[in-house]
Structures are given as structure tokens and as C-alpha cells.
Structure 1
Amino acid sequence: MSASATRYSPSGGLARWLGKHLSLSIGAGILLFFILMAVAAPLVAPYDPVVQMSDVRLNAPSLSHPFGTDNFGRDILSRVIFGTRVDLQIAFIGVVFPFIIGTFLGTVAGFFGGIIDAIFMRVIDIILAFPFLVLMLAIIAILGPGLTSFYIAMALVGWVSYARLVRAQILVLKNSDYAMAAVSLGFSRTRIMFRHLLPNAIAGSLVFVMSDAVLVLLNGAAISYLGLGVQPPIAEWGIMVAEGQPFVTTAWWITLFPGLSIVFLAFGFSLMGDALGDMLGVHD
């Protein structure tokens, strides 16, 4: 075999890596596509997403309107593109605050134990006594419709899963040899919790973030569908599905394309979660 045949090829190495991590590659590709579409929305959207054109109401997909138009004459493609911004924001913010709150509370409860852990578990029991979506709807009904209310509701309810995951790991790790060594060396409790224990306990939560992003995305769409989330005329996929429901048999494109967008974005998050779980050795 010649030397040129055995020479290392960077592109070949990348191809092998992508093949080995197929789920990660596809998931990252899907998410990157939606992120780029959200960033470049004003450049790639053919029309203003809120402008109504009465002369093209309920037009089927065509060259001038590839995804058709809705009952107000708004271009569906443009609304799907701009809706990407809102739904990505929902998925991101909807997991960040529960992740931070749950990770902190789970770490503290697991490390200190005793009365703190007992109170912590009773609070979790109370929250889990109610169906997740019903509790969210109750909070949003009190605060009023809108994305801010949705994020507050997610933060107040969604932290439970992260806290339980981290607490369970901290309970095990605080009795490990390196944790006992840190205590013997006189390190502060804060340092032991957040510099020694938490980095080793957070892997499960990082994997769950991707799965939770799917749930947050679907919950956000459901809340908007019920009229309690994003308010018209803002383009958001859940609202678009709700607006197209009365025309589902005559103008199917109004609900089809935003619905497919929700499915594909959720699929991307799911693939990323599976791949991350395999890489970190964590399986839900």
C-alpha cells in the first residue's frame, strides 16, 4: 500500500467521528438549522409575518407562498420562520431556570440532609401531588396570560425533576473517599458542595435538559394553543396550530407546517439527549 493511501485525512477522520456519533450529528444539525433560521429570520422570510393581505386569504401552497396563507392572508412560511425565534426562546428559558433552581436546591438538600432534606422532600411531594400541566395552568391563570407567566410557572414547577436527580447523586457522593478527604482538609461546605460534589453529580441533569426541552416546547405550544401563552399576532407555532384548527379540512397547510416544525425541533432535542447520555454514560 502506498504512503499516500495511508496518509491521515482530516475529512476522513471527521466522517468516521460523525458516523460513530450519528444521533449527535443529526440532532445537532437539526438544532443548528433552526438556530440559523431564527437568527436570519428577517433575511430569509419572504414577507412580514404579521402583515395581512386580504387578496390572498387561504391560498394553497404556491411559488409565491410556498407554505400557503392563513385566513388573514398572512404568509405561513414567514410566520413559521419567525415563530422559530419564539419557540427556541421557550425551549431555552423554560429549562434554564428550572435547571439552576433544581440543581442548587438538590445539592443543598442532599449534602445537609436531616431536617433540610425532610422539608425539601415534603415540598416535592406537594408539587408532585398535582398534575404538571394543571399546576402550570393554575399559576398562569393567577399571573395572567403571556410568556412571562409561562416562564415563572415553569420555574416554580419544573425544578423538581432536576432537584431529585442531583439530590440522589449527592447523597451517594458525599460519602465517597474524595469527599471525606475534602472534609479532612478543612474545606468549606460551599467548596465541597459546588466544586467537588456537584461536577460529579450533574451529568444526569445535563442529559435531562435535552429531554426536558422537548417537554417545555410541547407545553409552550399547548399553553399558546389554549390562549394563555404567546398572544396574537405574534408568530408562534402553537398559536398557528390553534388558528388553523377551524380550517383543518379546507386549508390543511395552516396547521401542517407549524405542527411539523414542532415535531422536527423536538426530534432534534431528543437525538441530542440520547447522544449526550451515551457519551456521558447516563441513560434515562
Structure 2
Amino acid sequence: MNTDAVSLPVAGWRILFGRRTMLTVGVSILLFFLVVAIAAPLIAPYDPILQDGSARLQPPSFLHPFGTDNFGRDILSRIIWGTRIDLQIALIGVAFPFLIGTLVGTIAGFFGGVVDALFMRIVDIILAFPFLVLMLSIIAILGPGLGSFYIAMALVGWVSYARLIRAQILVLKNSDYAVAAVSLGFGRMRIMFRHLLPNGIAASIVFSMSDAVLVLLSGAAVSYLGLGVQPPVAEWGVMVAEGQSFITTAWWITLFPGLSIVFLAFGFSILGDALGEMLGVHE
């Protein structure tokens, strides 16, 4: 997956402010959404799925700061509860590809030869298909739902991490400390996971922040298409899809969940950029 488009919005921020400020802002944004997700039952003013026919399509007001939708549900409450789902999508959707890709890339880079060729051919086959098309095909086969989305992300998203880790391991396994570890008779597992991987994983950690943005947007897009989170569950992509028919008359239905997606994505982007500067990793 190409991360250039993700890094562009934060390039100006990097010029205007230092990496310490960027790190603080990124962490603060993510902590804010994490607190909102944890405290959702306490801070949401209404039940997110409670319908009120007498309050349909009300604009932002004191009672409903973000307005109501076509079913009379409070938009603010649905956004607060939706934070749980979308934050979960970003974190879990990255975790499984990260773990699978790290394992595959480490093994392929360390052993080389036939093992490396086999894994890299699998990577080439997956990369031959457009990411979104392949992901949607897998979800269509498995059926709509968040579980299908996670499986699709795990099956498709690991290749980027595998290539990153493999490239790092290929370089590090010829370093002095790796050669010394072999000379001392250390086992392969110890060399791979205690000596090489900790020194080569920085690039993947930085990439995971940008990848979280892409996973978040993919999750919202899949839900928008009706293949992800299913109504009436409060999820930002679902809310945008539900409000598209009222975009000219009730703009608040799509605006506020859309802004929530943007701000959470911005937090991951800023944090990833700051980590890249601190760790000396350039994507």
C-alpha cells in the first residue's frame, strides 16, 4: 500500500513544528479518542440506537449539539459510541497484518533461498491484484461483517510488512553482531527474534501508523458499501452512508462522522510522522 498520500497532509505540520510537538499532538489526539471510547456509556447523552420519530432531522441545537438523523437518533451519541468501533477497526486491522507480515518477512529474510523465493512469490501474487478489489472480494465470499473485514485485512495487508522486515533482515544478518552470534553457536530462533528483529522492526512500527489510516478509511468505505458494520450499530462509515440521501437538507448527518474519521486519521498520521523522525525512518 502506498503511504505517500497519507504523509502529504502532515508535511506542512512537520515544517512548522518540531517532532516533539508533533509527537505530543499525535498522542493527544489518539488518547482523546481512546478516552471517548472507554467512557462512551458515561458521556453519551442518549442511547445511540434509540429512535424518536418526533425528533427527526433536527439541526444542531442545545438538546442535540450535532443534530439528529432521519430516525431521530442523536448524532453526537452515535459518534461517541462509534469511536469504539472505528478505533477497534484501526488497531485490530493493523495488528494481524503486522504480526503475520513480521513473522513471514523475518523467516524469508533470514533463511533466504527457496524459503525466501516461495514467500516472495506469494507476495507478488497478492500485489498483482488491486488492494481494495481483493479485500472486497474476500469479504463478499465470507459475508458482510466486521469479522470478515479483519480476516480480509489479515490476508491482504501483511505483504507490506513482510517486504519491509525482509529488506531489513537481509541487511542485518550480515552485520558484525549477527555474524558473531552465529560464531558463538546461538540458535536460529534466538538470532532471528532476539538480535535481528528488534533492530529491524522500527520501519514497520512507523509504517503501521500510516497503515492504520488506510485501514480506518478502508473500514469506513466497506461499511459505507454495506459490507462492514451493519446497521443499527453506530459506526462512522455507516453514518455517512445513511446521511447521503439528506446531504442537501440535513448536512450534519454526514459532516460530523466524516470529520471524526478525518481527525482520527490525522492523529495516526502525525504520530507516524513524528516516530519516523525520531527513529530516523523515512518512508
TM-score, normalising length: structure 1: 0.93
For 1:207 and 1:19, the matched residues in 2 are separated by: 17
For 1:33 and 1:102, the matched residues in 2 are separated by: 29
Asked if the contact 2:48–2:81 (Cα under 8 Å) also holds between the matched residues in 1, the reply is yes
The Cα of 1:24 is off from its aligned counterpart by: 0.6
Describe how 1:125-164 pairs up with structure 2 within 5 A.
125-164=124-163
The Cα of 1:273 is off from its aligned counterpart by: 0.1
For 1:206 and 1:233, the matched residues in 2 are separated by: 35
Counterpart position of 2:213: 214
Identity %: 78
Cα RMSD (Å): 0.9
- What CA deviation, in whole Å up to 9, does each residue of 1:93-117 have, x standing for no partner? 0000000000000000000000011
Counterpart position of 1:4: none
What letter is aligned with 2:27?
A
For 2:18 and 2:126, the matched residues in 1 are separated by: 42
Ranges in structure 1 where 5+ consecutive residues have no aligned partner: 1-17
Counterpart position of 1:239: 238
The Cα of 1:19 is off from its aligned counterpart by: 6.5
The Cα of 1:187 is off from its aligned counterpart by: 0.4
SS of residue matched to 2:174: coil
Report how many residues are paired. 267
Rg (Cα) greater in structure = 1
For 1:178 and 1:41, the matched residues in 2 are separated by: 49
TM-score, normalising length: structure 2: 0.93
Counterpart position of 1:44: 43
For 2:282 and 2:154, the matched residues in 1 are separated by: 25
- What CA deviation, in whole Å up to 9, does each residue of 1:5-42 have, x standing for no partner? xxxxxxxxxxxxx9760111111111111111111111
Asked if the contact 2:202–2:281 (Cα under 8 Å) also holds between the matched residues in 1, the reply is yes
What letter is aligned with 1:127?
I
SS of residue matched to 2:229: coil
The Cα of 1:50 is off from its aligned counterpart by: 0.1
Describe how 1:10-159 pairs up with structure 2 within 5 A.
21-159=20-158
Asked if the contact 2:19–2:278 (Cα under 8 Å) also holds between the matched residues in 1, the reply is no
What letter is aligned with 2:55?
V
Ranges in structure 2 where 5+ consecutive residues have no aligned partner: 1-16
Structure 1 residue ranges (4+ consecutive) displaced by more than 3 angstroms after TM superposition: none
For 2:39 and 2:190, the matched residues in 1 are separated by: 43
- What CA deviation, in whole Å up to 9, does each residue of 1:55-80 have, x standing for no partner? 00000000000000000000000000
